[in-house]
Every structure is written in C-alpha cells, then in structure tokens.
Chains A and B, each alone.
Chain A
Amino acid sequence: MRVFERPKVLKDKVFHYCPGCTHGIVHRLVAEIIEEMDIRERTVGVCPVGCAVLAYDYLDIDMQEASHGRAPAVATGIKRVLPDKVVFTYQGDGDLAAIGMTETVHTAARGEPLTVIFINNAIYGMTNGQMAPTTLLGQRTQTTPYGRNAAKEGYPIKVCEMLATLDGPSYIARVSVGSYKSILNARKVLREAFRRQIEENAYALVEVLSTCPTNWGMKPRDAMDWIENEMQETFPVGIFKE
C-alpha cells in the first residue's frame, strides 16, 4: 500500500524552486486537495508575479497568469463568468500585501467566492530578497541591510488580522509549513478554505508562513525552525474568522 505518493494533479516536472523552499510543499497540498475533492476538471487557478509565477507549469489544471498584485481581480472576473467553477489565487506577500493590497481588501470585502492562498515568507524571493510588507522588525533583507527598523520602514502588515475585521470574508486563517505537524494542519485548513467556496459560495483566505532559505541565508531546516520560533511571534497561527 502506498502511504504517500505524488498527487496526479502535480505535473511530472521538477520545481524551479530553490532547495528547501516550501512553495513545493504548498503546491503539493493544493494538488492533493484538488485530487481529493475531485475538482480538477472544474478548477481554475490564478498565478501571481513572484516565485510562484510558473505555478501553472506544475498544477495540471486550467490557469491564468495575472499581472503583479491583480490576481484577485482576475479571479473575480473568472468567477463571475464561471460561478460553478472553483477559482483560487496563489500569491506571495509582495503580490498580495504590497502592490495588490487594494485588490486583496476589496475582493475580500465583496466576499467574492474565491479561495486565496497567501504565501508569507517575509521577503521578495524572486528578485533576490528585498523587504516585503511582512518582513519582521529587525530582519535583514537586501533593502534593509541593517535590519527592518520601524522608524524608517514601518511595521509588518498582519493581513489576516486586518481582513478579519471585514464582513465579506467567511474564513480567514493563518497556518505554517514549518514542521511536520504544521504541514498536516495547513492541509486541513486549506481544504476548509476550498470547501467554503464550493459548499458555501464564500470567500476564504489562508496565509501560509513559508520559508525562503536562500534569501534568509539559512539552511532549510533552520528556516523551518525560524518560522516556528520567530515568525509566529509576529504572525500567530490560528483561525481569525470562521
């Protein structure tokens, strides 16, 4: 009996992600959920600009590639045309919480029946590690070489806490993929976010605390531990709206 095998929704292609990058884990979870819920043929995904820009190379479903930050608007257009399909976006912290914050907030406020998967790794990975809206105070990045200083660069944005104040969303949660247990929990929560759209025609967002070992300058395991020990102090995991 196979206790663990590659989901068929994942195409037979090696990820372009750096060694130890947890994008691969989240891609796999999404693929598993699509397979398990048997929605592959009626799912349309929207890719961001950022490291996951090529997500369509890996997920064997219909996908659209959005411009930077506009995935929620693109997904809104798709969902309004195809209300019976399952539409999700997969976005990073720069895409969702910097350039695309307007679309993020208003799509949530409208309660568009979408599933938003938000990868928060506290840095811009694709462009070599600049400060993200979610970079922690004191965290060194290419553009905060002395550490993020609240007086100069402001504070990290807590997307879940902020969106949970809106009436539109049905489900807002933050999970981590920083440990085995966290990954199992992330899977459960992501599945619920898809279920909300499918069964309740509702908006759901899941923030996934993820690693960027390359730009954090850490070994992959140390990066995972950093999520569990450091990142979660600023970004506590939990369900913010249910």
Chain B
Amino acid sequence: MAEVIIDRERCKGCLLCVSFCPKQLFTLSDKLNSSGYYPVKIKEMKECSGCAVCATVCPDVAITAVDR
C-alpha cells in the first residue's frame, strides 16, 4: 500500500503537489503551521499509488513517499 508523509512544518502551501497529483489527492488543510502557511494534506490516502510525482515537484522537499 502506498502512502505519502507530509512534513507540515516544511510545507509552504504552494499547491504544486495539488496541481500535479495525477489523482488529485491533495488539498490545503485549514490549520496554519508555525511559519504561517496552510500546509497540504491528503484527502484519501488509500487512493495513493505511490508515484511520487508530488514529492518530485515539491520545492520544499516536504513529502516522503512510501510503498509498503
């Protein structure tokens, strides 16, 4: 099963993962992180295929992709 781990504190909410995810699994969370950004979160983790497109385009290296 694939999974992505988002480092909320690194994320600046730039939305690149939101727009690049082939399955549109990302959305912004409604809680600020300590830098004052709304970080992204995953809507449906079980849909994730582990393609790591999100992690590849993430400019803040805030995403770890795991395939179990």
Contact = CB atoms under 8 A, between A and B. Distances in A.
A25 B65 contact: no
A1 interface: yes
Contacts of B15: 20, 219-221
Interface residues on A, range: 20 to 34
Interface in B1-52: 2, 9-10, 12-16, 19-20, 35, 37, 50, 52
A230 B63 CA distance: 29
Given A3-B50, A19-B13, A20-B14, A14 B68 contact: no
Contacts of B68: 1
Q: Which of A2, A4, A18 has the most CB of B within 10 A?
A: A4
A15 B56 contact: no
Interface of B: 2, 9-10, 12-16, 19-20, 35, 37, 50, 52-53, 55-61, 63-68
Interface of A: 1-6, 10, 14-15, 17-25, 28, 180, 183-184, 213, 219-221, 224
Given A1-B67, A2-B67, A18-B12, 11 more contacts: A1-B66, A3-B2, A10-B61, A14-B10, A20-B59, A24-B60, A25-B57, A25-B58, A28-B61, A180-B53, A183-B56
